[in-house]
Amino acid sequence: MAKNIDVQQDWHVVDADNQVVGRLASKLATILMGKHKPTYTPHVDCGDFVVVVNAEKIRFSGQSIAHETHPYFTDKMLNKEYDRYSGYPGGRRVTTAAKLLETKPEFILREAVRRMLPKSKLGRGMLDKLKLYVGESHPHQAQNPQPLDL
């Protein structure tokens, strides 16, 4: 059984260019939880930090559609919907994945990973170790993240 003081958390960098959202999210969730390590313990945060670059270039599975702004545009981007609710009557807001990809591209991947992590304080701490960035650059060079090929 691993203890909090014994856990060594490494830094990894992942390129999300042309990666399918669900497949990438499941691999990221495994690394954030620490299930890839032999010292995995369910009640201890054994996971590593993950820096994801090119979050705007992710894609969904489905039929490809020609689109001028996104090279990996599929029909699922038009059909998949994300809901939020304000708490007031009639306060449900629905946004498609294509609209979110234009405005907040890192939200899609963060939400997919969040739904795969434990729903507890431990899971929220794991999600804080996921760093998502639009573009190639990120401010975590001092941590010396190692490239991770998924």
pLDDT reported for residue 75: 85
How far is it, in rounded angstroms, from Cα 31 to Cα 128? 13
Which positions ≥6 away from 82 have C-beta within 8 Å? 94, 95, 96, 97, 100, 107, 108, 111
Tokens 């993950």 correspond to 50
Phi and psi for 110 in degrees, rounded to 5? -60, -40
8 Å CB contact between 115 and 26: no
pLDDT value at residue 93: 96
DSSP conformation class of 20:
B
- Encode the chain (150 residues) as per-residue pLDDT tens digits: 889 899 999 999 999 999 999 999 999 999 999 999 999 999 999 999 999 999 999 999 888 887 777 777 888 888 999 999 999 999 999 999 999 999 999 999 999 999 999 999 999 999 999 999 999 999 999 999 999 988
Task: Look at residue 125 in the predicted model and tell me its pLDDT.
Answer: 95
Query: Three-state SS for 79?
Result: helix
CB 16 within 8 A of CB 57: yes
64: helix, strand or coil: strand
Threshold 0.85, pTM exceeds? yes
Q: How much is the pLDDT for 52?
A: 97
